[in-house]
């Protein structure tokens, strides 16, 4: 039996109405997988591997009650989507943002399945979070929320079951409060979360890993074309964990980073951010506009995106669907030749199609931002063997993993004209191991 993309998307849409982000992620992946399976593994259709892979193994939704600083009771919703455990324990971040809903967490968990497989580390895929808004909350409020969140989540996770980590709104501080509560409830010092502090089970280079890994991946794309970063202008969106370390590595590799952004607007410095300027940005927190008080070369725009400025390389590192078809057209018109996603699904489907049509070298998040979860996997290994590796060792392993992901994308994504379709390469390269493991493990 062979599958048809249009019929399959209708089937998934009928089953998951009102989940646009999830449907977008499924369409992006299965457009490449369906022809591949029909040609190479037609028997996987009879086993309904694709129908199964789009169905989470388990979705947990729970109430999170906590007391704010004014002693007012607050109620939020917590989730964990345990998407696929065919090749390892569920693994993926937790997002705290008022925009969180099931559609967004299912898209993130779905992407995570393929991304984790691409790392070569045995990790399944999952994602979770809450509609809790960390902005404007005191440290004590964050702690009380995290403790309440883990008081329910603890029964669903474990070092060999499901290992959450950070994502938007969740960093080392939040991981710390959740880890402390898990340890207290279970009386077990275990690698149940990654992104821990280096003095209490964390790995060196985990904070830097997603941004550094993204730049190592771009370096592979450039080397494949006999090019490098020198003289190249880079537009980055976001000013959080991923964007910051992407900018730092880009500068260290010889690129000129001209933008950063957040939900208030876009910071443009046509002279480029030096490492010193980046340190200053970090000290500003969310007050990016204040940069212009110290550095006169900078300008802050509330009505512009990083994609409005001419660049050679665009690195969207903020959030999903932040780069649409119009942005893609502006980027291409201004000479942009490389786009690599630090965020998850930041480009819309129409933007990606335009990049492909324009022969822009486009690297999807599931390949290009896999460095974060890869070092999370290395953190799990260190926890299991009770050791801590040096920064140099972890960074070297990270670089090797990103080079291998690039090779996988080339292997499965090379077109007849020699151009590499990184999206197709990542989709197929990430799928093969998961699909064959599902087949081997029978009807589960």
Residues that bind ligand NDP (CB under 6 A): 166-169, 210, 238-243, 262-264, 286, 317-319, 322, 342-344, 369, 372
Secondary structure element (H or E) that encloses residue 129, with its range: strand 125-130
Name residues contacting ligand 2IT, limited to 365-384 (CB under 6 A).
372-373, 376
Please indicate whether residue 127 is annotated as part of the active site. Answer: yes
Among 89, 92, 364, 430, binds ligand 2IT (CB under 6 A): 92
Among ligand NDP, ligand 2IT, none, the one that 262 touches (CB under a kind-dependent 5 to 8 A) is ligand NDP
* Partners of residue 301 on adjacent β-strands: 266
DSSP 87: S
Q: How far is the CB of 182 from ligand 2IT (least distance, A)?
A: 15
Among ligand NDP, ligand 2IT, none, the one that 318 touches (CB under a kind-dependent 5 to 8 A) is ligand NDP
CA gap 52, 444 in Å, rounded = 9
Return the residue nearest ligand 2IT (CB atom): 93
Among ligand NDP, ligand 2IT, none, the one that 239 touches (CB under a kind-dependent 5 to 8 A) is ligand NDP
Q: Which is nearer to ligand NDP, 106 or 435 (CB)?
A: 106
Residues 32, 427 contacting (CB under 8 angstroms): yes
Q: Which is nearer to ligand 2IT, 85 or 233 (CB)?
A: 85
Q: Which residue has tokens 């699904």? A: 345
Q: Which is nearer to ligand 2IT, 174 or 269 (CB)?
A: 174
Stretch that binds ligand 2IT, among 32-40, 86-94, 319-327, 355-363 (CB under 6 A): 86-94
The three-point CA angle 151-154-155 to 5° equals 110
First to last CA, the chain: 21
Residues 129, 79 contacting (CB under 8 angstroms): yes
162-165 and 90-96 beta bridge pairing: parallel
Residues 108, 84 contacting (CB under 8 angstroms): no
Catalytic residue among 127, 196, 232, 256: 127
Site size for ligand 2IT (CB under 6 A): 12
Q: Residue 310 burial (CB < 10 Å; 0-12/13-18/19+)?
A: middle
Stretch that binds ligand 2IT, among 91-99, 232-240, 275-283, 406-414 (CB under 6 A): 91-99
Q: At what angle do helices 172-186 and 139-153 cross, to 10 degrees?
A: 50
Q: Which is nearer to ligand NDP, 65 or 263 (CB)?
A: 263
293 Cβ contact list (under 8 Å, min separation 6): none
User: Is residue 194 close enough to count as binding ligand 2IT by CB under 6 A?
Assistant: yes
User: Is residue 435 close enough to count as binding ligand 2IT by CB under 6 A?
Assistant: no
Name residues contacting ligand 2IT, limited to 322-361 (CB under 6 A).
344
Q: How far is the CB of 434 from ligand NDP (least distance, A)?
A: 19
Stretch that binds ligand 2IT, among 27-35, 88-96, 276-284, 403-411 (CB under 6 A): 88-96
The torsion angles phi and psi of 168, rounded to 5 degrees, stand at -55, 130
Question: Would you state the structure tokens that stand for residue 362, as one six-digit string?
Answer: 């486009």
Q: How far is the CB of 135 from ligand NDP (least distance, A)?
A: 7
Q: How far is the CB of 377 from ligand NDP (least distance, A)?
A: 12
SS3 (DSSP) at 389? coil
Question: Would you state the structure tokens that stand for residue 400, as one six-digit string?
Answer: 């090797």
Residues 9, 30 contacting (CB under 8 angstroms): yes
Name residues contacting ligand 2IT, limited to 163-182 (CB under 6 A).
165, 167
CA gap 398, 206 in Å, rounded = 10
Alpha helices, H only, 271-324: 275-284, 291-294
**Catalytically active residues, by annotation:** 127
The contact set with ligand 2IT (CB under 6 A) reads 91-93, 112, 115, 165, 167, 194, 344, 372-373, 376
């Amino acid at each position: 039996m062979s599958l048809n993309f249009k019929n399959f998307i209708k089937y998934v849409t009928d089953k998951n109405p009102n989940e646009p982000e999830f449907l977008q992620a499924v369409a992006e992946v299965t457009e490449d997988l369906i022809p591949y399976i029909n040609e190479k593994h037609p028997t996987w259709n009879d086993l309904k591997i694709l129908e199964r892979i789009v169905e989470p193994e388990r979705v947990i939704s729970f109430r999170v009650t906590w007391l704010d600083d004014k002693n007012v009771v607050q109620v939020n919703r917590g989730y964990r989507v345990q998407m696929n455990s065919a090749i390892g324990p569920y693994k993926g971040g937790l997002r705290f943002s008022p925009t969180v809903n099931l559609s967004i967490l299912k898209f993130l968990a779905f992407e995570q399945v393929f991304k984790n497989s691409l790392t070569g580390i045995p990790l399944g895929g999952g994602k979770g979070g809450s509609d809790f808004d960390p902005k404007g909350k005191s440290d004590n409020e964050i702690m009380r929320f995290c403790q309440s969140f883990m008081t329910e989540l603890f029964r669903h996770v474990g070092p060999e079951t499901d290992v959450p980590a950070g994502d938007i709104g969740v960093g080392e501080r939040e991981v710390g409060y959740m880890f402390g509560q898990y340890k207290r409830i279970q009386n077990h010092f275990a690698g149940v979360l990654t992104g821990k502090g280096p003095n209490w089970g964390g790995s060196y280079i985990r904070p830097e890993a997603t941004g550094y890994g993204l730049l190592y991946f771009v370096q592979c794309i450039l080397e494949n074309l006999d090019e490098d970063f020198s003289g190249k202008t880079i537009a980055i969106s976001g000013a959080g964990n991923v964007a910051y370390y992407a900018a730092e590595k880009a500068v260290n590799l010889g690129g000129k980073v001209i933008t950063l952004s957040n939900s208030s607007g876009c910071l443009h410095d046509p002279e480029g951010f030096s490492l010193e300027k980046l340190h200053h940005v970090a000290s500003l927190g969310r007050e990016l506009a204040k940069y212009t008080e110290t550095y006169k070369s900078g300008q802050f725009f509330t009505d512009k995106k990083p994609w409005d400025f001419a660049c050679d390389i665009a690195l969207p590192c903020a959030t999903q669907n932040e780069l649409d078809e119009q942005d893609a057209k502006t980027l291409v018109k201004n000479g942009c030749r490389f786009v690599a996603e630090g965020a998850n699904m930041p480009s819309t489907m129409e933007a990606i199609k335009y990049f492909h049509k324009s022969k822009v070298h486009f690297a999807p998040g599931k390949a290009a931002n896999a460095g974060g979860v890869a070092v999370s996997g290395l953190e799990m290994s260190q926890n299991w063997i009770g050791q801590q590796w040096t920064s140099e060792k972890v960074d070297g392993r990270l670089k090797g993993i990103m080079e291998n992901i690039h090779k996988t994308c080339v292997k499965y994504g090379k077109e007849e004209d020699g151009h590499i379709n990184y999206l197709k390469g990542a989709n197929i390269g990430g799928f093969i191991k998961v699909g064959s493991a599902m087949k081997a493990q029978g009807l589960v």
